[in-house]
Structure 1
């Protein structure tokens, strides 16, 4: 069963002191990469990666591992007022197609909401679970299948799984488009300060996301949390 745990932090402030006071070089997490502007992927962050993560000024972290988040990581998130969204996908065995699809659909609803950006999505090694989420995002962006699979293979390397590739080949984004009904986030020049939320009546709905860098409308679905701060439209609003 997939669980969702959300740690909600208020009053996010920018954190970037311009460098490591110890003089040590910044070390990114394993398999770290930029997916889109203000969207990142990686393997599980270690304490040695925290100074690097500070430079990203993260607002959210999406964790695809089912295990409890390490205390050191939680303390880092709290200290920097970073939200944690956790979707437990078992990495010790290949999950069923239904479990994987449902978990990915839920994770994508948080990943594409601009109010959660900058966001880091990660699993243990940043290969299979993260690769499936990013690959599904690419299909939502209308990437051609060959490019979707090539990106997955690039990060999975020799550990590429045929079941993951098959999943990405057959993943149907129509369900996700139908689910993203409650809130529409419209990007006015993605990454600019002109972001604003619009109700469904104020915009013309578009059927797909083609790029996060252009003016794009994204529907966002409210999810009920488990053992976490109530997740509502009001307490997500950041002005």
Structure 2
């Protein structure tokens, strides 16, 4: 007899959800042909589940908040309304949206919150998101979670665009734009406005290199962005930045949704 896990449901092609797993659910999971289990719990999976994954060559992704990296943005560290850490959300979606590496995936525990965030990415209305959350949370439905699902914003960043952002941040730390000639002259009592300022050649070289990098970034962004540019932009202030896998690794339902959104926008 095949017994599905508690709150088991089909989410999208190759993606499933449930609230917990027991040994009695193992024959059902074998029928699904899973390849990945994302375990959102502080405790490790029990022995029967570990044995099932070992026997069936199922990849385990054990994600927990206690081991998630500290938030880079200090403003995110003290927002009490955030039910899940942004770093945990970003890492979970990095896995869920990478169908080439983590295909046929089951999300276990806290799935009602994570799927609610996925619906935000899919541009569901808040009423639809809250209704689905209440359906699966049942008696455990929490106003704080509903508030979180309404307020949180997800910024989708392509791998190529994230590299550009990282380069920009690195450059801003290592190099500052030279001051204007007028400012330099006004600050120096020994220079006359009529005199020709001597700018070091290495400084001119750095400026030119930076201009070339900016030009290359703009060309690369134009070539890789294509459809989905406005789809990636969040509806409000950015709270969580999610790095998307490479274009060829994205699930077809995501690509189709992005295309339809761009056509209707």
Whether TM exceeds 0.5 here: the answer is yes
Provide the residue aligned with 2:104 in structure 1: 118
The correspondence for 1:39, drawn from 10, 15, 18, is 15
Deviations 1:166-214 (A, max 9, x none): 110011012xx13x4259xxxxxxxxxxxxxxx98666252438x9537
Unaligned runs of 5+ in 2: 67-79, 162-219, 233-250, 259-265
Provide the residue aligned with 1:166 in structure 2: 147
Q: Distance in 2 between matches of 1:49 and 1:64?
A: 18
Are 2:253 and 1:213 equivalent residues in the alignment? yes
Deviations 1:141-174 (A, max 9, x none): 1111111111001101121001100110011012
Q: Distance in 2 between matches of 1:34 and 1:56?
A: 11
The correspondence for 2:123, drawn from 139, 142, 145, is 142
Deviation at 1:215, TM superposition (A): 4.0
Provide the residue aligned with 1:181 in structure 2: 159
Structure 2 SS opposite 1:86: strand
Are 2:24 and 1:48 equivalent residues in the alignment? yes
Unaligned runs of 5+ in 1: 1-24, 124-128, 184-198, 219-239
Structure 2 SS opposite 1:45: coil
Query: TM-score of the superposition, structure 1-length normalised?
Result: 0.62
Deviations 1:208-234 (A, max 9, x none): 38x95374499xxxxxxxxxxxxxxxx
Q: Distance in 2 between matches of 1:153 and 1:166?
A: 13
Q: Aligned pair in 2 of structure 1 residues 87, 165: CA closer, same or farther (>3 Å)?
A: same
Provide the residue aligned with 2:91 in structure 1: 106
Q: Is the 8 A contact 1:63 1:121 kept in 2?
A: yes
Q: Aligned pair in 2 of structure 1 residues 51, 206: CA closer, same or farther (>3 Å)?
A: same
Q: Distance in 2 between matches of 1:104 and 1:29?
A: 23
Q: Aligned pair in 2 of structure 1 residues 165, 98: CA closer, same or farther (>3 Å)?
A: closer
Q: How many residues align?
A: 167
Q: Distance in 2 between matches of 1:99 and 1:213?
A: 25
Q: Distance in 2 between matches of 1:214 and 1:65?
A: 26
Structure 2 SS opposite 1:103: helix
Q: Aligned pair in 2 of structure 1 residues 156, 217: CA closer, same or farther (>3 Å)?
A: closer
